[in-house]
Homo-oligomer: A and B are copies of this chain.
Amino acid sequence: MRKENVSGQGFKCSANYTALTPLSHIARAAEVFASGDAISYGTIRWTWAEVTNRCARMASALRSAGVTRGDVVSTVLPNIPAAIEAHFSVPMAGAVLNAINTRLDDVAIAYILGHAESKIIFVDSQHIDLVERAMSHMNGDGPTIIECPDTEAGWQPTGRYPIYDDLIEKSEALEQWHYPEDEWDSIALNYTSGTTGNPKGVLYHHRGAYLTTTGAVISWEMGIKPRYLSIVPQFHCNAWCHIWTMPLVGGTIVCCRDISAKVIFDALADQNVSHFGCAPIVLNMLIHADPAERREFTQPGSVVTAGAPPAPSTIKGAEALGLKIKQVYGLTETFGHISEALEQPDWKLLGDDQRYAQMARIGVRFPTMEGLDVADPETGKMVPWDGTTTGEIVIRGNSVMKGYFKNDTATEESFKGGWFWSGDIGVRYPDGYISITDRTKDIIISGGENISSVEIENVLMQHPDVSLCAVVAKPDEKWGEVPCAFVELLDGRQVSRDVLVAFCREHLAGFKCPKDVRFETLPKTSTGKVQKFELRRSLK
C-alpha cells in the first residue's frame, strides 16, 4: 500500500482531489447560502449569490485589463465592500491580492507597489491623493488605478479613474474561475514592518488560507450564519483570514469604514453582530464610551482580541458589556491567529484576578497548527514548562507563510531548524500555556499596528544634531505600546523633544512618530551594541 498510482491503489482525479482554496467556500456559499446576507454596509444588503456574481464580474474585468496568473493586484481600502470582494475577485482571476495598510505614507506605499510589481490597484476615493503621491515616487508607470468611491460614506469619485462598480456593471461574470493548480500557489502578499526599515512581503498560499478558515470556525465555536463585524483591518492578515471564513459558514460581513464606540455599539444593537476581532484598545474604547453612544444588545457577542495582552480591567469591562473575550496571537507570517487562550474548565473556579491572568496569556496552538513552543535561540532546544525560563516563541504548521517575497535570506533565517521564529520572547507554564515576556525584533505594536524601530531610528539619525539613537516600545495604557526614542546628541548640540518629533512627522506616517523622547547616554555592550532590553526594562 505504499506508492502513488500503483495498480490497485486508486488514483487522484477531480472526483477525489481539489486544491484547497477559499474560493471553494464562496462557490459553495453561492449555492447553499445563496439568499443569505453576505455584506451589510450602510444601505447595502447583498446576498452571497449577489456578491459571488459581483466578484466573478470583477474577475472578468481584471482579466480584460490584462491581469494574468500570478500578477499582483493591490488595494488601498478601508473595510468597505470592495475590500471584501477583492479577497475573492482577485484570486478568481488567478491573481495575488496585496492589501496595503491605508495608514502608511506615500514613500512606504511606493516601495510596496514597486517591490510587489503591482499591475492594478483598487483605491478608495479618500486615499486617491495618497496613492497618486506614492506613484509619483515610482520609476515607470506603476499600477493602473481603479477607483472605489464609497458613496455610503459620502466619498464621491474624483472623475480621474475608472470606477469599480462601473467595471462590474459592464462585465460578464467570469465562467471559468481560476482555481489554483497547486494549493501552494500564492493567494496574497502582505507587507509587514520588519526589523529593517523596508517592509517585507509575506506570501500566503491557498492551502494555508483555507485551513486557517476551518481553524477559525472551530476555535471560535462559530456556528452557521454568524454576523461578523469587520473591525480588524482587511490589510492585517486579510482580517486574520476572517473574510475568507465567512462564506464557509454563510456568515454576514458587516462592514465598518471607521471604528468608533458608536459605530460598534450601533452594529451590536441594530445589526445583531455576533462576532468580531479587535485589538484590546478597541475594547477599552467601548468600555469608556460616552453614555450617549452606548446601546443595549441581547445576543452573545464573541470577541477574539490580539495585538497586546488584554489588561484585567479590559477583560472585566468587556465581560460586563456582554462580550465573551478570548485572546489570540499570531503574526502576519502566520495568516493571523495561530494561538488561543483556550478556556479550561477549572478557570471558572478561579477568582477574577487569577482568571484574567490565565486569559492574558497567548495560550496554546490553534486547531490547524502542528506546533507552538518556546525555544532556546542558541541551542534550538525547547525550554522547560516552568513559567520562568525564557526563549523565543516558535511556530510550525500549515498556516505559516511560504516565505518572504524576493528575500530568500530572510526566509531561510526565519525558518531555521524547521520552525518559524516569531521574534517574540516567552515562557511556557506547567499547563503548556505560553506568555509573551519580550520581543527580539525591533517592532513596536501600537494600537494593533506594527511599527519598525529601525525605520524611526533611520529618520532620527538624519537629524543634524543627533549622534546616536535607539527606539523601543514603551507600555501605554491606551495604545498597548508607543515608540519611545532614546537620543544622544552630538557634542555641544541642543535640540528640543518637539523639534525631533516634528522632524519625524516630515518623514513618517503619524502613528509611527515617537510619543516620548529621552536624552541620555545609551547602555552599550562591550562591543558597542546598544542594549535595547535595558532601555525597555527602564520603561516598565
Q: Is the CB of B367 within 8 A of A401?
A: no
Residues on A close to B: CB < 8 A?
1-2, 4, 7-18, 20, 24, 27-28, 31-32, 34-36, 69-72, 96, 182, 184-186, 189, 203, 208, 214, 217-218, 221-225, 248-249, 342, 344-345, 364-365, 367, 369-370, 395-398, 400-408, 411, 414-415, 418-420, 432
Whether A34 and B432, one on each chain, are in contact in the complex, defined by CB atoms closer than 8 angstroms, is: yes
Question: Closest approach, in angstroms, between the C-beta of A418 and any C-beta of chain B?
Answer: 4
Within 8 Å by CB of A14, from B18, B203, B224, B418, lies B418
Total identical chains: 2
Taking CB atoms, residues of chain B closer than 8 Å to A17 are 398
Q: Which residues of B contact A408 (CB under 8 A)?
A: 7-8
Q: A31's contact among B31, B345, B365, B402, by CB below 8 Å, is which?
A: B365
- Are B2 and A70 in contact, CB atoms less than 8 angstroms apart? yes
Task: List, in ascending order, chain B residues with CB within 8 A of A1's CB.
Answer: 70-72, 96, 185-186, 189, 203, 405
| Contact yes or no, A398 B18, CB < 8 A | yes
B342 touches A32 (CB 8 A): yes
Q: Are B411 and A11 in contact (CB under 8 A)?
A: yes
Given known A248-B367, A370-B18, contact A432–B31 (CB-CB < 8 A): yes
- With most chain B CB atoms within 10 A of its CB, the pick from A2, A4, A420 is A2
B4 near A182 with CB under 8 A, answer yes
**Distance to closest chain B CB from A383 (angstroms):** 15
> Which chain B positions have C-beta within 8 A of A14?
396, 418-419
Instruction: Check if B20 sits within 8 Å of A398, measured CB to CB.
Output: yes
CA distance A27 to B249 in the complex (A): 27
> With A and B bound together, what is the CA distance between A31 and B396 in angstroms?
15
Answer whether A16 and B248 are a contact pair too, CB < 8 Å, given A8-B408, A72-B1, A182-B4: no
12 inter-chain pairs at a CB distance below 8 angstroms, sorted by A residue, are A1-B186, A4-B184, A8-B405, A8-B406, A12-B184, A14-B418, A15-B396, A15-B400, A15-B415, A16-B402, A214-B214, A221-B224
Bound-state Cα–Cα, A396 to B411, Å: 36
- Report Cα–Cα, A28/B432, bound state, in Å: 11
Cα distance A70–B2 when bound, in Å?
A: 6
- Contact B218–A28 (Cβ < 8 Å): no
**CB of A526, distance to nearest CB on chain B (Å):** 34
Provide the bound-state CA to CA distance between A238 and B245, in Å: 28
Which of B31, B364, B397, B401 is within 8 Å of A10, CB to CB? B401
Main secondary structure of the interface of A (DSSP, over half): loop
Shortest distance from the beta carbon of A5 to any chain B beta carbon, whole Å: 10
Decide: B398 and A8 in contact? CB cutoff 8 A. no
Closest to A12 in B: B184
The residues of B that contact A411 with a CB separation of less than 8 Å are 10-11
Q: How far is the CB of A205 from chain B (nearest CB, A)?
A: 8
Starting from the known contacts A10-B411, A13-B418, A16-B415, 5 additional A-B residue pairs (CB-CB under 8 Å) come to A1-B189, A10-B405, A11-B411, A14-B418, A218-B218
Interface hub of A403, A406, A420 (most chain B Cβ within 10 A) = A403
Give me the 6 closest cross-chain CB pairs, A-B, nearest first.
Answer: A10-B403, A10-B402, A14-B418, A16-B400, A1-B70, A8-B406
Known: A10-B203, A18-B396, A415-B15. A28 touches B403 (CB 8 A): no
Distance in angstroms between the alpha carbons of A432 and B10 in the assembled complex = 31
A223: chain B residues within 8 A (beta carbon): 221, 223
- Residues on B with beta carbons closer than 8 Å to the beta carbon of A8: 405-408
**Are B398 and A16 interface neighbours, CB within 8 A?**
yes
Partner of A217 from the list B32, B217, B370 (CB cut-off 8 Å) is: B217
Q: Which residue of B lies closest to A418 (CB)?
A: B14
Q: A367 to chain B: which residues have CB within 8 Å?
A: 28, 248
Cβ contact within 8 Å between B72 and A208 = no
Nearest residue, chain B, Cβ from A403: B10
Residues of chain B within 8 A (CB-CB) of A72 are 1
Find chain B residues with CB under 8 A from A182 CB: 4
The residue in chain B whose Cβ has the minimal distance to the Cβ of A208 is: B16
Q: A12-B184, A203-B9, A418-B15 are in contact. Are A364 and B32 (CB under 8 A)?
A: yes
